[in-house]
């Protein structure tokens, strides 16, 4: 068995400590009409791809169904299929556009699993690079995100439209 590795993310404390917005932020984005400001990259038939406003790493994306549902068992086959298809497309685009060397992909289902928003299921796609955790977050409690979210949105959005 290999050594357990930790992914430190102390810069997310701002997100953890802030007042939680009332209602579901994913539903607000789904029903909104400012995709660039809401960091939406693609709208499918049943779900969408959006950027995480509080990323673990540059390029951290999420895929969520339009329906406000919490669990896998509530998803229709079409929703589940499209979520996996959009997750695959996201990995492909991040590998191409950002030269990602690996990915953490997954669902946090329920409070015990660390779900920040447990009422609306969403899949996380976090691009990784060898050595992407360095002294800054470990010692300085600062994460260096080398690109603004809007600049990254403008880079990725056209790739999702191809």
Residue numbers annotated as active site: 122
CB 152 within 8 A of CB 59: yes
Distance CA 52, CA 126 (A): 9
Report the run of H or E that residue 30 belongs to, with start and end.
helix 25-31
Closest CA to 147 of 125, 120, 127: 127
- The single residue listed with the structure tokens 């050595």 is 131
Residue 73: helix, strand or coil by DSSP? helix
User: Is 157 buried (19+), middle (13-18) or exposed (0-12) by CB count in 10 A?
Assistant: middle
Phi, psi torsion values for 124, nearest 5 degrees: -95, 140
């Amino acid at each position: 068995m290999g050594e357990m590795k930790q992914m430190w993310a102390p810069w997310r404390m701002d997100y953890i400590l802030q007042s939680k917005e009332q209602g579901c932020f994913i539903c607000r984005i789904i029903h909104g009409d400012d995709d660039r400001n809401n960091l939406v990259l693609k709208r499918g038939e049943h779900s969408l791809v959006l950027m995480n406003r509080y990323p673990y790493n540059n390029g951290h994306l999420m895929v969520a169904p339009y329906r406000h549902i919490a669990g896998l068992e509530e998803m229709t086959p079409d929703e589940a299929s499209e979520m996996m298809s959009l997750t695959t497309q996201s990995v492909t685009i991040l590998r191409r556009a950002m030269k990602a060397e690996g990915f953490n992909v997954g669902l946090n289902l329920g409070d015990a699993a660390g779900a920040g928003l447990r009422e609306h299921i969403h899949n996380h796609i976090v691009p990784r690079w060898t050595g992407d955790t360095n002294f800054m977050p470990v010692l300085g409690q600062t994460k260096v995100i080398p690109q603004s979210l809007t600049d990254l949105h403008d880079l990725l959005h056209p790739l999702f439209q191809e």
